[in-house]
């Protein structure tokens, strides 16, 4: 089952500070409406993973010789070592860039759902779907970092609802019919997403 996470609000705030951008600046989000950049970063974009595209973008904008050198093909092992455990915020704090809010949004990838195996049986829990997940948290270079979706499920999902991928339709309707309602997002190309109230219970 695919879970659509939202991003950590503290990480969004740190990114905006690093970029010297105001949270209320309006940006245009592809396939959606215009909204404040804070909302766009919270709900619609990958803001943790460092992708090759974002590396190229920051290399181009920062003009930093150290990064340019690190991106040379012959230094691929060094780049891999440097990237391990680092997230986008670490890249930005090491190699600052000056961008507009819209340029930053255009450089990011849309957020993707994470897949989780269903760990419950509809024979036992007729109106529920249980997921069992490992909470990805680690420390590197003195900074505490976490996985986007696993920390979302552990820290924030309990307070609201969780959006699932339409693959949930493959489940017996009795599992979800009562909960699905028109949520109206189009992040996966149209149609309402099934939305479930979340009851997180974490064990360790
Ligand atoms: C078919 C399928 C079924 C799955 N089922 C389950 C399931 O039932 N339960 C479950 O828990 N997961 C499951 N997963 C994995 C799950 O989809 C996510 O990948 C996982 O929860 C991490 O997502 P995230 O958003 O928290 O992390 P992301 O934000 O996506 O970050 C992951 C990245 O963190 C970095 N990283 C990871 N560990 C460290 C570390 N120790 N130090 C430094 N960096 C690190 C790596 O770069 C990694 O790519 C499944 C995956 C698939 C494909």
Indicate the pTM of the whole model: 0.83
User: Chain-wide mean pLDDT for the chain?
Assistant: 83
- By percentage, how much of the chain surpasses pLDDT 70? 79
Band (pLDDT 50/70/90 cuts) for residue 168 is very low
Domains and CATH numbers, the chain: 7-107 (1.20.990.10), 114-197 (no CATH)
Q: Which one, of 194, 200, 148, 146, lies nearest residue 173 by Cα?
A: 194
Whether the predicted pLDDT of 123 surpasses 70? yes
Whether the predicted pLDDT of 34 surpasses 50? yes
Residue whose Cα lies nearest atom 48 of ligand 1: it is: 147
Ligand 1 atom at minimal distance to the Cα of residue 134: 11
| CA of residue 136 to ligand 1 center, whole Å | 7
Please give all residues whose beta carbon lies within 6 A of any atom in ligand 1, as ranges: 48, 84-85, 114-117, 132-134, 136, 138, 140, 147-150
Number of H helices, E strands in the chain: 8, 8
Q: Are 11 and 47 in contact (CB under 8 A)?
A: yes
- By percentage, how much of the chain surpasses pLDDT 90? 55
Categorise residue 189: left if φ over 0, alpha if ψ from -120 to 50, beta otherwise: left
pLDDT single digits (tens) 37-63: 999 999 999 999 999 999 999 999 999
More confident residue, 166 or 136: 136
């Amino acid at each position: 089952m695919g879970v659509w996470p939202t991003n950590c609000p503290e990480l969004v705030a740190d990114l905006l500070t690093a970029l010297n951008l105001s949270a209320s600046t309006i940006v245009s989000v592809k396939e959606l409406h215009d909204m404040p950049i804070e909302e766009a970063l919270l709900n619609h974009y990958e803001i943790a993973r460092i992708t090759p595209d974002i590396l190229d973008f920051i290399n181009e904008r920062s003009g930093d010789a150290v990064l340019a050198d690190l991106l040379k093909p012959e230094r691929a092992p060094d780049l891999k070592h440097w990237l391990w455990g680092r997230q986008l915020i670490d890249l930005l704090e090491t190699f600052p860039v000056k961008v507009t809010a819209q340029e930053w949004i255009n450089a990011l990838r849309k957020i993707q759902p994470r897949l989780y195996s269903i760990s419950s049986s509809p024979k036992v829990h007729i109106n529920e779907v249980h997921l069992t997940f490992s909470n990805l948290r680690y420390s590197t270079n003195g900074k505490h970092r976490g996985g986007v979706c696993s920390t979302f499920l552990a820290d924030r999902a309990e307070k609201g609802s969780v959006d699932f991928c339409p693959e949930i339709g493959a489940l017996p309707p009795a599992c979800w019919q009562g909960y699905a309602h028109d949520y109206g997002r189009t992040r996966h190309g149209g149609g309402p997403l099934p939305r479930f109230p979340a009851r997180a219970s974490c064990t360790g």
